């Protein structure tokens, strides 16, 4: 399909949860660890008349569904603020700092004073009937394949409550997600583009935002909304694309859907649809009207000057990737797999601390080896940065050898220290005398040098430096 | 000079579309939260931002605000088969419209606006509605209570089947208490109602509270002054509290209003539009009964909150400003009288005696809020009662004691008569029994 000829226009709204301890407007934990609710409140929402006595289309539509909302309350993770029984507290400063870092990373203009707004939301996902949101940056951009992708706005907002179950007009929401700091990054209209490229753009946005090291990465913590239109069609907003890798499929299917409607002589409608796991979409409501925002008068406006004064702007992750490629000679695929770990930034600390170890070896152990342990042993690898530092320190000192990385790290993941792991595995380093003894003994049986090297190496595996052993064998013959 | 005045000189006012340097937006009203040289604009994406005005800031007008008259809806026809109620607005923003362009909130008072916002009330009753005043709850004065009582009297004279008073919540229980004494022998219900969540939001408790209040005013069988507010945090029931026993017990929750030392009188099932009575101990509706309006009150009554460290001299000083004093006393009804002549302790006994001798009644109410005073148990209580402190065996709230003393002082200056009236149950303010199940 020729998307350029079809006049494909796409806009992205990307949401990330921030990795901060507290919620945006109260001191509840944002951990989402609790499983069982400690209570439930039952609520109804009502459309609110605007100054013209009109109720916007989207709000009325939801109202007609006549639903009752049940909100599940979780210990430590929801309080009266989430239950809509107490006004919001002051804005979480850490979340605000990260949001401003992100706005800077995308070259945005920063408002001198930020006002928290109430965005009317009447599907029940916010107990208050609105979402608190604030614009932290606007009119920004980032570079992609030699062109500038416009970033129209970056907002810091409250995440909504997650739906738990729904039956017969009764909708159950979990309040633990409500209020978690969420970043929304909106691109402007992107034209002259292929669906696959849109996916790459979304990934770049994710990378740049990740530069702050405060972006949550699990599924559900990142959500995309995609706006799609083609010539003769209409703007359709597709909400809740949970995976980056679904974006191109969602766009392709939406273009196809609009084309089919046009072919039948029907005009596609402006509407909001929701993405399903296979990339297809279903209608949820007409597109909401525009004027749905008014000030949250319960929260003080923020003077950004004071926050920006001491704000450090981290190195953009896409720049860091280029640097890893050049400075440390890492291959693109190795960087890719390192990015999927929690140790992408930590990698460089290790490289700097242990100059005797090849950077690619460090990267390989952090990505491939650890992933292999997870896959083969069917365990979750939860090694702290301290433990990994201990391991690489031992590697650097020649106390352990890279061939034993798998076994030692597996033990360490069970809670053992390096020395303990080495002892238990019988992997204490061999002395030169011991190595010589092994060579001499093996030599008695095998004369072919190639075979000899192979057998000796398997005997000393993980207990000696391989090149050194080969050197010794060579010097003996 | 205020930047908004400078803008005015340039012919720019709130709601106009303007350009400040490179930013376009609609000029918003100023807010007390930011400095006076900050201009607030709503950008086209709906977000408000603040821009500091400097000498070289360029501001130009793009477009004047278009005035749009609000849509007027037709009055609802009178239905002789339905009861008729009057809604009198005293303040609070239980019903309002948001102007999303500027974020301004406009209160609604006319019957048409109310019915449009809450269509259900028009199905329950014929609605008369008007504004008495538009006051924050904390600005309400005893003189306002008199006006409210007189207006209620007028409405009842006109033959309505019930009255709803929309009121700010902070002092609603003072008003309900005062009206309970001023409106005697009520023939129909007088229902005070408010909202704890502002009416601009979809989650406001205004709808359920107001619809329940209208239902109770139209069909409830209790011809007393009552408060109708959320029963708990859920949006399904409202409690009907007796005006003299109710108190705001939470700063923010929907169910902030609780009956103290008494059960609520009834509850209203919002969805089912049904009333469930929780007691039979109330004055029944009887339209033929004649209301006795008595607005004689003396507002010169003050509250002294006793606490460790509080000063007898301050209580003495209060006697210069007030003609009656309610003391929020500890426990069963105690304030320090230092019987053992402790070096550090202070005695309030001389001041209390002195004030009473001057003709200033001293009335106790429990600072524990829950429970009944009993000044027979400890010698401190016995001594205080002996010198003339009023309140033994009463379980009223501090606020009800205050408004009752105002009412009583509006009728007599005689201390014996004051004592007799205070200890006589006039409007259900003293429970006869302390029920265990509360």
Per the annotation, the verdict on B93 as an active-site residue is yes
Cβ–Cβ contacts within 10 Å for residue A37, how many? 19
Distance CA B88, CA B148 (A): 9
- CB nearest to A113's CB, from B49, B203, B253: B49
pLDDT of residue A52: 45
Q: Which residue of A has its CA nearest to B112?
A: A53
Please say whether the beta carbons of B106 and B199 come within 8 A: no
pLDDT of residue B77: 85
CA B125 from chain centre, in angstroms, equals 24
**Residues of B in Cβ contact (< 8 Å) with A52:** 68, 70-71
pLDDT of residue B100: 64
Helix (H, G, I), strand (E, B) or coil at A392: helix
Please say whether the beta carbons of A20 and A215 come within 8 A: no
A109 secondary structure, DSSP code: B
Distance CA A185, CA A152 (A): 8
Say which of B153, B170, B236, B294 is annotated catalytic: B170
CB contact under 8 A, A51 and B101: yes
Distance from CA of A102 to the nearest CA of B (A): 18
Per the annotation, the verdict on B397 as an active-site residue is no
Ordered DSSP codes for B284-348: BP-TTSPPEE-------EEEEE--TT--HHHHHHHTTT-SEEEEEEBTTTB----TT--SS----
Give the tens place of pLDDT for each residue, B88-109: 999 877 777 666 666 667 777 7
Say which of B84, B93, B295, B397 is annotated catalytic: B93
pLDDT of residue A477: 64
Give the tens place of pLDDT for each residue, B168-187: 999 999 999 999 999 999 99
Per the annotation, the verdict on B170 as an active-site residue is yes
What domains, with CATH codes, occur in chain B? 3-63 (2.30.30.520), 84-293 (3.40.50.1170), 301-423 (3.40.50.40)
- CB nearest to A113's CB, from B50, B103, B106: B50
pLDDT of residue A64: 56
- CB nearest to B49's CB, from A44, A48, A111: A111
Q: Choose the mutation target among B17, B32, B47 for the interface with A, i.e. most A CBs under 10 Å.
A: B47
Give the tens place of pLDDT for each residue, A295-317: 898 999 999 999 999 999 999 99
Q: Which residue of B has its CA nearest to A51?
A: B99
Distance CA B189, CA B285 (A): 7
Per the annotation, the verdict on B169 as an active-site residue is yes
Say which of B146, B248, B258, B404 is annotated catalytic: B248
Burial class (CB in 10 A: 0-12, 13-18, 19+), B284: exposed
pLDDT of residue A441: 83
**Residues of A in Cβ contact (< 8 Å) with B251:** 86
Distance CA A334, CA A337 (A): 5
Would you state the structure tokens that stand for residue B356, as one six-digit string?
């009473």
CB contact under 8 A, B46 and A120: no
Helix A449-460 / helix A466-476 crossing angle, nearest 10 deg: 140
Distance CA A1, CA A76 (A): 52
- CB nearest to A41's CB, from B103, B106, B234: B234
pLDDT of residue B427: 97
pLDDT (tens place) for every residue of chain B, 438 residues total: 688 888 888 899 998 999 998 899 999 988 888 888 899 999 988 899 999 988 888 999 999 988 766 666 677 789 999 999 999 999 877 777 666 666 667 777 777 888 878 888 999 999 999 999 888 899 999 999 999 999 999 999 999 999 999 999 999 999 999 999 999 999 999 999 999 998 888 899 999 999 999 999 999 999 999 999 999 999 999 999 999 999 999 999 999 999 999 999 999 999 999 999 999 999 999 999 999 999 999 999 999 999 999 999 999 999 999 999 999 999 999 999 999 999 999 999 999 999 999 999 999 999 999 999 999 999 999 999 999 999 999 999 999 999 999 999 999 999 999 999 999 999 999 999 999 877
Distance from CA of A310 to the nearest CA of B (A): 20
**Residues of A in Cβ contact (< 8 Å) with B65:** none
Ordered DSSP codes for A265-325: TPPPPPEEEEE-TTS-EEEEEEPPPS--EEE-TTS--EEHHHHHTTPPPPPPHHHHHHHHH
**How does the average pLDDT of chain B come out, rounded?**
93
Q: Which residues of chain A have pLDDT under 70?
A: 48-65, 288-291, 477
CB contact under 8 A, A138 and B45: yes
**Residue written as tokens 């500890």?**
B330
What is chain A's percent helix, strand, coil content, to nearest 5?
40, 25, 40
**Residues of A in Cβ contact (< 8 Å) with B50:** 111-115, 301
pLDDT of residue A436: 84
Distance CA B146, CA B299 (A): 11
pTM comes to 0.89
Distance from CA of A196 to the nearest CA of B (A): 28
CB contact under 8 A, A135 and B97: no
Say which of B30, B161, B169, B258 is annotated catalytic: B169
**Residues of B in Cβ contact (< 8 Å) with A294:** 98, 100, 103, 200
Q: Which residue of B has its CA nearest to A63?
A: B202
Can you name the residues that pair with B48 across neighbouring β-strands?
B42
């Amino acid at each position: 399909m020729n998307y350029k000829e079809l006049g494909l226009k796409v806009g992205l709204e990307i949401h990330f949860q921030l990795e901060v301890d507290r919620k945006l407007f109260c001191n509840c934990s944002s951990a989402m660890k609790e499983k069982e609710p400690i209570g439930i409140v039952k609520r109804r929402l009502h459309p609110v008349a605007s100054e013209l006595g009109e109720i916007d289309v989207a709000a009325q539509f939801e109202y007609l569904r006549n639903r009752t909302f049940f909100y599940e309350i979780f210990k430590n993770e929801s309080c009266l603020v989430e239950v809509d029984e107490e006004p919001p507290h002051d804005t979480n400063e850490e979340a605000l700092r990260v949001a401003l870092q992100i706005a800077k990373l995308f070259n945005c203009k920063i408002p001198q004073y930020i006002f928290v707004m109430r965005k009317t939301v009447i599907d029940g996902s916010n107990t208050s009937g609105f979402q608190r949101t604030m614009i932290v940056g606007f009119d920004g951009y980032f570079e992609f394949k030699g062109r500038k992708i416009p970033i129209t706005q970056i907002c810091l907002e409250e995440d909504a409550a997650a739906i738990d179950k729904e039956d017969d007009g009764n909708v159950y929401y979990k309040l633990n997600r409500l209020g978690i700091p969420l970043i929304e990054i909106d691109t402007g209209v992107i034209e002259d583009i292929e669906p696959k490229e849109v996916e790459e753009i979304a990934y770049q946005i994710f990378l740049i935002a990740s530069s702050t090291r405060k972006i949550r990465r699990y599924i559900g913590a990142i959500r995309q909304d995609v706006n799609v239109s083609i010539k003769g069609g209409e703007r359709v907003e597709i909400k809740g694309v949970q995976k980056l890798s679904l974006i191109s499929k969602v766009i392709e299917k939406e273009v196809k859907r609009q084309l089919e409607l046009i072919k039948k002589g029907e005009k596609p409608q402006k509407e909001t649809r929701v993405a399903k796991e296979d990339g297809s979409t279903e209608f949820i409501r007409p597109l909401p009207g525009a004027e749905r925002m008014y000030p949250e008068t319960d929260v003080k406006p923020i003077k950004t000057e004071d926050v920006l004064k001491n704000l450090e702007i981290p190195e953009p992750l896409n720049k860091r990737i280029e640097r890893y490629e050049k400075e440390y000679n890492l291959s693109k695929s190795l960087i890719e797999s390192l990015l999927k770990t929690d140790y992408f930034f930590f990698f460089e600390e290790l490289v700097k601390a242990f100059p005797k170890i090849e950077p690619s070896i460090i990267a390989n152990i952090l990505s491939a080896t650890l992933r292999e342990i997870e896959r083969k042993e069917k365990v979750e690898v939860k090694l702290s940065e301290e433990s990994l530092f201990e391991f690489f320190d031992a590697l650097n000192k020649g106390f352990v050898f890279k061939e034993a990385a798998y076994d030692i790290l597996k033990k360490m993941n069970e809670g053992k220290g390096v020395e303990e792991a080495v002892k238990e595995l019988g992997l204490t380093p061999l002395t030169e005398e011991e190595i010589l003894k092994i060579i001499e003994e093996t030599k008695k049986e095998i004369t072919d040098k190639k075979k000899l090297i192979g057998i000796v190496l398997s005997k000393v595996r993980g207990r000696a430096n391989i090149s050194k052993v080969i050197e010794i064998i060579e010097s003996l013959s | 000079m205020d930047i908004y005045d400078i803008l005015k000189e340039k012919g720019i006012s709130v709601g106009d579309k303007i350009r400040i340097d490179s930013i376009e937006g609609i000029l918003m009203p100023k807010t007390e939260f930011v400095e006076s040289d900050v201009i607030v604009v709503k950008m086209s994406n709906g977000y408000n931002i603040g821009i500091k005005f400097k000498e070289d800031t360029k501001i130009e007008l793009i477009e004047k605000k278009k005035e749009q008259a609000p849509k007027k809806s037709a009055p609802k026809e009178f239905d002789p088969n339905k009861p008729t109620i009057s809604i009198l607005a005293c303040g609070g923003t239980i019903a309002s419209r948001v102007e999303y362009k500027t974020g301004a909130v406009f209160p609604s008072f006319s019957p048409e606006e109310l019915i449009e916002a809450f269509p259900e009330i028009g199905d329950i009753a014929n609605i008369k509605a008007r504004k008495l005043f538009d006051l924050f709850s904390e600005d309400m004065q005893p003189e306002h209570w008199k006006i409210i009582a007189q207006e209620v009297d007028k409405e009842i004279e006109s033959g309505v089947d019930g009255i709803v008073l929309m009121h700010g919540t902070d002092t609603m229980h003072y008003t309900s208490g005062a009206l309970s004494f001023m409106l005697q022998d009520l023939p129909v219900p007088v229902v005070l109602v408010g909202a704890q969540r502002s009416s601009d939001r979809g989650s406001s408790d205004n709808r359920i509270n107001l619809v329940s209040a209208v239902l109770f005013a139209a069909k409830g069988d209790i011809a007393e002054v009552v408060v109708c507010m959320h029963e708990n945090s859920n949006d399904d029931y409202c409690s009907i509290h007796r005006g003299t026993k109710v108190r705001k017990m939470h700063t923010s929750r929907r169910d902030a209003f609780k009956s103290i030392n008494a059960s609520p009188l009834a509850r209203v099932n919002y969805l089912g539009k049904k009333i469930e009575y929780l007691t039979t101990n109330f004055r029944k509706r009887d339209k033929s009964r004649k209301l006795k309006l008595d607005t004689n009150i003396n507002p010169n009554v003050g509250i002294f909150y006793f606490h460790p460290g509080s000063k007898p001299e301050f209580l003495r000083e209060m006697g210069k400003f007030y003609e009656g004093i309610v003391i929020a006393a500890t426990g069963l009804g105690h304030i320090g009288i230092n019987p053992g002549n402790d070096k550090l302790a202070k005695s309030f006994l001389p001041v209390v005696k002195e004030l009473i001798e001057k003709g200033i009644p001293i009335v106790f109410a429990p600072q524990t809020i829950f429970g009944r005073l009993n000044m027979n148990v400890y010698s401190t209580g016995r001594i205080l009662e002996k010198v003339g402190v009023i309140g033994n065996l009463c379980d009223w709230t501090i606020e009800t004691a205050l408004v009752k003393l105002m009412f009583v002082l509006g009728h007599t200056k005689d201390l014996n008569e004051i004592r007799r009236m205070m200890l006589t149950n006039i409007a259900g303010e003293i429970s006869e029994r302390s029920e265990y199940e509360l």
